[in-house]
């Protein structure tokens, strides 16, 4: 049986793509390995959003040069966004790479690997660029790829990503995604529902719907239009599913019917990731985000009106072209004012091929970007900590994901760590059976996507449990499983 090593970087979309590629390869007899040295095929599923992510892949490829020299039959492949972005350049920079496949062509990976093994030489399959044909041709060249699922490849078997949309048409000037993932396409609702039903039947309790601008989801079929809120209502009906999340939202498409759906459907997570990117109108305009900061504030106020308890999170880019201290201060102000549960903060990374790279100089020095990044992060961390304080003494419902990182590091459990499951899991095995009576530190999430750490029993993994919170820092709530009094005896949920 050929052995496959796969490494995934980037967003949830890539995690899902890797799951699907592995599922397809398992059907062809591949088994997974956690080490590059005993792998017959090594795949890197890559990201192009920032330069750093691409350079790390070239370094990883560089480290494989000798292994390939020693064993020329080892197949090395680069798949995903960097493959689409760099295409032949990957072969130029790492001539021993055998396979380059863009995110719109991943269904071809199994056949291409067979061709390479049969001696056909290096293979390149990418989709059309955004100027390389009619919209229809370009769209068709970005095939969505959702035929098979593989529960053992997921971070946990009871949580799954479901793609509802591919590509993006917003063309924010800093962003490479519209070039590498192609035109925005919403997936037919009946396909999404069938996949969600299948996942629920396999024991999946939580699905996270994925799209670059997920709330722009809209599917037209003749006279009928399915909006995001309609799709959520239909998914909500599926027995077995207990939680539904969706990422990432585009501020301008946060419509009232969607907020009403999140409010009224109990399985929907009261959690909205709606990136602002900047608090300054001047910067937003240069970014071509399509809204003013006043419009973002209005949208945020509507979320608070409809969903006062919801956790709202954001992304920010610091050091975008021409960003002044005053512009940056406006981002700080927005973070303070909106009281985000969390913000992901990135230093601007110029991406060749974007409008931003063409129109504006990357003129904010690296040390200023770093300082702004740290400053905004410090403001956000303080808010995150404040935001977690009201949970002290409260009870929350936690979907238990697995042993906490520190429990894993100390080797306290016989279970595979949540984060590394896909790397370490041999095919067909579910890992060492947890020891049922052992108490370990477990980690899970609330409906609002808050991370909760508590002591429990490995058997509780995959359950939704009441946890009482006694401590909190910026990123984690600490709690104890609530014991229930049933009948004459004390029945504890931890046993």
> What is the x/- site pattern for ligand 5AD, positions 350-389, by CB under 6 A?
-x--------------------------------------
What pairs with residue 464 in β-bridges? Answer: 399
Q: Nearer Cβ to ligand 5AD, position 175 or 398?
A: 175
Among 170, 197, 339, 355, binds ligand SF4 (CB under 6 A): 170
Contact present, 237 and 274 (Cβ < 8 Å): no
Residue 50 binds to ligand 5AD (criterion: CB under 6 A)? yes
Among 122, 167, 211, 275, binds ligand 5AD (CB under 6 A): 275
Q: 342 contacts which partner out of ligand 5AD, ligand SF4, none, CB within 5 to 8 A by kind?
A: none
Residue 168 binds to ligand SF4 (criterion: CB under 6 A)? yes
Residue 246 binds to ligand SF4 (criterion: CB under 6 A)? no
φ, ψ dihedrals at 351, nearest 5°: -115, 110
Instruction: Quote the radius of gyration of the chain (alpha carbons, Å).
Output: 23
Q: Nearer Cβ to ligand SF4, position 177 or 293?
A: 177
Q: Nearer Cβ to ligand SF4, position 34 or 290?
A: 290
Residue 44 binds to ligand 5AD (criterion: CB under 6 A)? no
| Pairwise CA distance, residues 206 & 166, whole Å | 21
Q: Nearer Cβ to ligand 5AD, position 227 or 351?
A: 351
Among 219, 246, 346, 478, binds ligand 5AD (CB under 6 A): 346
Nearest CA-CA partner of 21 in 36, 6, 9, 2:
6
Q: 171 contacts which partner out of ligand SF4, ligand 5AD, none, CB within 5 to 8 A by kind?
A: ligand SF4
Q: Distance of CA 426 to CAs 12, 39, 114, 308, Å?
A: 22, 13, 22, 44
Near ligand 5AD in 312-341, by CB under 6 A = 315, 317
Q: Nearer Cβ to ligand 5AD, position 175 or 261?
A: 175
Residue 291 binds to ligand 5AD (criterion: CB under 6 A)? no
Largest CA distance in the chain: 74
**Candidates 151-159, 170-178, 361-369, 426-434; binding stretch for ligand SF4 (CB under 6 A):** 170-178
Among 4, 43, 81, 175, binds ligand 5AD (CB under 6 A): 175
Q: 50 contacts which partner out of ligand SF4, ligand 5AD, none, CB within 5 to 8 A by kind?
A: ligand 5AD
Q: Nearer Cβ to ligand SF4, position 54 or 242?
A: 54
Nearest CA-CA partner of 448 in 363, 391, 489:
391
Length of the chain: 495
Residue 415 binds to ligand SF4 (criterion: CB under 6 A)? no
**Candidates 70-78, 113-121, 333-341, 347-355; binding stretch for ligand 5AD (CB under 6 A):** 347-355
Q: Nearer Cβ to ligand SF4, position 108 or 213?
A: 213
Q: Nearer Cβ to ligand SF4, position 168 or 209?
A: 168
Residue 175 binds to ligand SF4 (criterion: CB under 6 A)? yes
Among 250, 291, 348, 391, binds ligand SF4 (CB under 6 A): 250
CB atoms within 10 A of CB 7: 15
Q: Nearer Cβ to ligand 5AD, position 277 or 425?
A: 277
Residue 297 binds to ligand SF4 (criterion: CB under 6 A)? no
What's the min distance (Å) between Cβ of 67 and ligand 5AD? 32
Residues near ligand SF4 (CB under 6 A) are: 168, 170-172, 175, 177-178, 212-213, 250
Residues near ligand 5AD (CB under 6 A) are: 49-50, 174-175, 275, 277, 315, 317, 346, 348-349, 351
């Amino acid at each position: 049986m050929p052995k496959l090593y796969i490494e995934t970087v980037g967003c949830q979309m890539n995690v899902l793509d890797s799951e699907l590629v592995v599922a397809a390869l398992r059907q062809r007899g591949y088994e997974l390995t956690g080490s590059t040295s005993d792998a017959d095929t090594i795949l890197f599923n890559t990201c192009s959003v920032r330069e750093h992510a691409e350079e790390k892949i070239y370094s990883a490829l560089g480290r494989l040069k000798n292994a390939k020299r020693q064993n020329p039959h080892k197949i090395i492949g680069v798949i995903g966004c960097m493959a689409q972005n760099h295409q032949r350049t990957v072969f130029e920079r790492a001539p021993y790479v055998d396979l380059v496949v863009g995110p719109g062509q991943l269904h071809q990976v199994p056949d291409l690997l067979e061709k390479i093994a049969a001696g056909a030489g290096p293979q390149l399959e990418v989709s059309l660029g955004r100027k390389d044909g009619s919209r229809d041709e370009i769209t068709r060249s970005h095939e969505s790829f959702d035929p098979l699922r593989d529960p053992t490849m997921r971070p946990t078997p009871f949580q799954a990503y479901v793609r509802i949309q591919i590509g993006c048409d917003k063309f924010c000037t800093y962003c490479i995604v519209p070039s590498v993932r192609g035109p925005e396409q919403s997936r037919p609702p009946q396909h999404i529902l069938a996949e969600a039903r299948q996942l629920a039947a396999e024991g999946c309790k939580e699905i996270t719907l994925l799209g670059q601008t997920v709330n722009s989801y809209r599917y037209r079929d003749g006279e009928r239009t399915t909006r995001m809120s309609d799709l959520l209502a239909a998914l909500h009906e599926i027995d077995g599913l207990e939680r539904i999340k969706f990422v990432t939202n585009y501020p301008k498409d946060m419509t009232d019917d969607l907020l009403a759906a999140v409010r009224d459907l109990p399985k929907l997570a009261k959690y909205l990731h709606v990136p602002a990117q900047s608090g300054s109108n001047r910067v937003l305009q240069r970014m071509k985000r399509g809204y003013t900061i006043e419009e973002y504030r209005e949208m945020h106020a509507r979320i608070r009106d409809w969903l006062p308890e919801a956790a709202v999170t954001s992304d920010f880019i610091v050091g975008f072209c021409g960003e002044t201290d005053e512009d940056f201060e406006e981002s700080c102000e927005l973070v303070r004012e909106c009281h985000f549960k969390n913000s992901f903060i990135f230093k601007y990374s110029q991406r060749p091929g974007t409008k931003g790279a063409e129109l504006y100089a990357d003129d904010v020095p690296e040390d200023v970007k770093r300082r702004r990044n740290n400053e905004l992060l410090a403001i956000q961390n303080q808010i995150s900590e404040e935001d977690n304080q009201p949970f002290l003494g409260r009870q929350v419902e936690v979907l238990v994901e697995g042993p906490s990182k520190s429990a894993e590091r100390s080797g306290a459990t016989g279970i595979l760590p949540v984060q590394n499951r896909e790397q370490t899991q041999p095919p067909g095995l579910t890992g060492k059976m947890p020891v049922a009576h052992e108490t370990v530190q477990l980690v899970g999430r609330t409906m609002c996507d808050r991370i909760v750490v508590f002591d429990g029993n490995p058997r509780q993994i995959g359950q939704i449990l009441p946890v009482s919170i006694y401590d909190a820092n910026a990123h984690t709530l600490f709690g104890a499983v609530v014991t229930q009094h049933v009948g004459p005896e004390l029945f504890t949920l931890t046993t």
